[in-house]
Amino acid sequence: MSKYDPYKKQVLETCLQLMEAGFFGTRHGSAGNVSVQVDGEDTIVITPSGIKYTDLSPADLCVLNFNGARLEGPHEPSVEAPMHLACYQHRPDVSSVIHTHQPHASAFGLINHSIPALFDEVAVAIGHVVEVVPYGLSGSNDLLENVVAKLDNRCHCYILQNHGALCMGPSLEKTLLFAELLEKTAMVYQMALATGKEITTLPEGLPLGLFQITTMRQDMEIARKAALMPAAAV
C-alpha cells in the first residue's frame, strides 16, 4: 500500500470518465493526460505515457515531485508532465490539471479563435475568456513556455493551438466540470457562429466582475494549501 493510492485511483477514474465522454479524442488510444497534486506535498500523481486507459490499474500511475523526479510508478510519465508541473508551480490555486483533445474546444485551436464570455455561470466557473495558447510540439519547451505565459490570467481553461484543451482547478472533480463546461460553451458558440448572425456576449465589464468571485475562491484555496504544507516549505 502507498499513501498515494487514493490519488492514483481518483486520477484513473477521471481518465475513464473523460475517455467514455470522448474527451480524449478516441476510446482506444492514450491521448490526453490527467494529474492531481497530493495535499501538503510538492508532489503529483500523473498518467503514464503511451498506455490505453482501459489497460491501466492504479499501480501503473506515476508519482513525481515538483522537480520531475519519479517517486513511484513502473512506467515513464506522460510526455506532458513538465507542462502539468509548470501549471502547479505558476498557479498555486491549482491542485489538478487535465489535458484533453475534446473536439468542440479543439476546433477553436484550429482557427486560433479564443472563446469570449457568453454565459454568466461559465464566466464564474472557468473565467472571463478562454484564450488560445500558441502552438508548441507536444512535450516541448516551446509549449511549456507558451502555456506559462497565459497562466497569469487566472482562468481555468485554455485552448492549445492545433492540439486540444487544458483545464485546471482546485480538485479533479471541479476540473472535470470545467472541461465539460468548456466543451458545452465551445459547442454552443460554434452553433451560433454557423448562423452568420451577430454574437451577443455578456455586457462589458460583467465578465471580469463575475470573475472576482473566482479569484476570491482561488485566494482561499491558496491559503488552504499553504496551511497544509510543512512549515519549512511554506
Residue extents of the structural domains in the chain: 5-228
State the average pLDDT over residues 93-117: 97
> pLDDT at position 234, please?
44
When computed from its CA atoms, the radius of gyration of the chain, rounded to whole angstroms, is 17
Going by CATH, does the domain composed of 5-228 fall within 2.50.20.10? Answer: no
pLDDT of residue 7 exceeding 90, the answer is yes
Q: Is 110 helix (H, G, I), strand (E, B) or coil?
A: helix
> pLDDT at position 25, please?
80
CA pair distance 103, 31, nearest whole angstrom: 13
Q: Is 176 helix (H, G, I), strand (E, B) or coil?
A: helix
- Catalytic residue annotation: 80
pLDDT of residue 232 exceeding 60, the answer is no
168-190 tens-digit pLDDT: 999 999 999 999 999 999 999 99
132-155 tens-digit pLDDT: 999 999 999 999 999 999 999 999
Between 233 and 115, the higher pLDDT residue: 115
> pLDDT at position 177, please?
98
